[in-house]
């Protein structure tokens, strides 16, 4: 299955919600490196990591039971910015997991941290800034999304390194 097909499958046939999962709880997605994921150097292409992250974010929303709630309001997430740091390579057929969690939000953006691990070893990390839109393309405040999906959670203090990154790339609320 190509990663695009896997993403479509994760969205249209989501995995069951995890009972009791809250917005700040982590979600784990397990995958295996496919031949189509490799570049000429026989390791996972950097662009494929972003597709992995897409699948893991959809699984995070599915684990919370959020896909139906968002769809009922015609809301959907879009990635406003990402940054990746690679530490190790993944190669053909290696199993790995991605742990996805929300680390905070401001008026506009929900910030996620996604960590790729193989056999307990850190492989890569992604920070993603997500905005939510309503069809046909209207902005939805992050607080409205949190109110819909959360159980009265208040925004945690955004980690200083994530806050500095958001400010540096001009994605943070002004």
Domain boundaries, the chain: 3-168
- Give the pLDDT of residue 174: 62
Q: pLDDT digits over 48-78, tens only?
A: 999 999 999 999 999 999 999 999 999 999 9
- Give the pLDDT of residue 7: 87
Q: Which DSSP symbol is given to 173?
A: -
Q: For residue 169, with 0-12 CB atoms within 10 Å meaning exposed, 13-18 middle and 19 or more buried, which class applies?
A: middle
Q: pLDDT digits over 5-45, tens only?
A: 888 899 899 999 999 999 999 999 999 999 999 999 999 99
Which stretch of DSSP H or E encloses residue 117?
strand 110-118
Flag the least confident range among 28-32, 33-37, 154-158, 169-173: 169-173
Query: Is the pLDDT at 172 greater than 60, yes or no?
Result: yes
Best CATH choice for the domain 3-168 from the list 3.40.50.11290, 3.20.20.70, 1.10.10.10, 3.10.129.10: 3.10.129.10
**Dist CA 95 CA 117 (whole Å):** 9
Q: pLDDT digits over 84-130, tens only?
A: 999 999 999 999 999 999 999 999 999 999 999 999 999 999 999 99
pTM: 0.93
CA dist 67 → 4, 28, 107, 145, 171 (Å) = 18, 17, 21, 12, 24
Among the listed residues 10, 27, 21, 11, the one whose alpha carbon sits nearest the alpha carbon of residue 113 = 27
């Amino acid at each position: 299955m190509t990663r695009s097909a896997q993403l479509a499958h994760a969205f249209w046939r989501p995995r069951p919600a995890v009972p009791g999962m809250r917005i700040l709880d982590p979600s784990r997605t397990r995958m295996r490196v496919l031949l189509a994921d490799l570049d000429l150097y026989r390791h996972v292409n950097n662009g494929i990591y972003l597709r992995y992250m897409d699948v893991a974010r959809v699984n995070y929303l599915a684990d919370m039971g959020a896909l139906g709630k968002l769809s009922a309001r015609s809301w959907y997430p879009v990635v406003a910015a990402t940054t990746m740091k690679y530490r190790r390579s993944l190669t053909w057929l290696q199993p790995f997991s991605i742990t996805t969690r929300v680390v905070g939000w401001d008026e506009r953006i929900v910030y996620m941290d996604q960590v790729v691990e193989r056999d307990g070893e850190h492989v890569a990390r992604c920070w993603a800034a997500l905005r939510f839109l309503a069809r046909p393309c209207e902005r939805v405040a992050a607080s409205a999304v949190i109110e819909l999906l959360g159980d009265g959670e208040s925004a945690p203090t955004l980690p200083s390194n994530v806050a500095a990154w958001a400010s540096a790339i001009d994605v943070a609320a002004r």
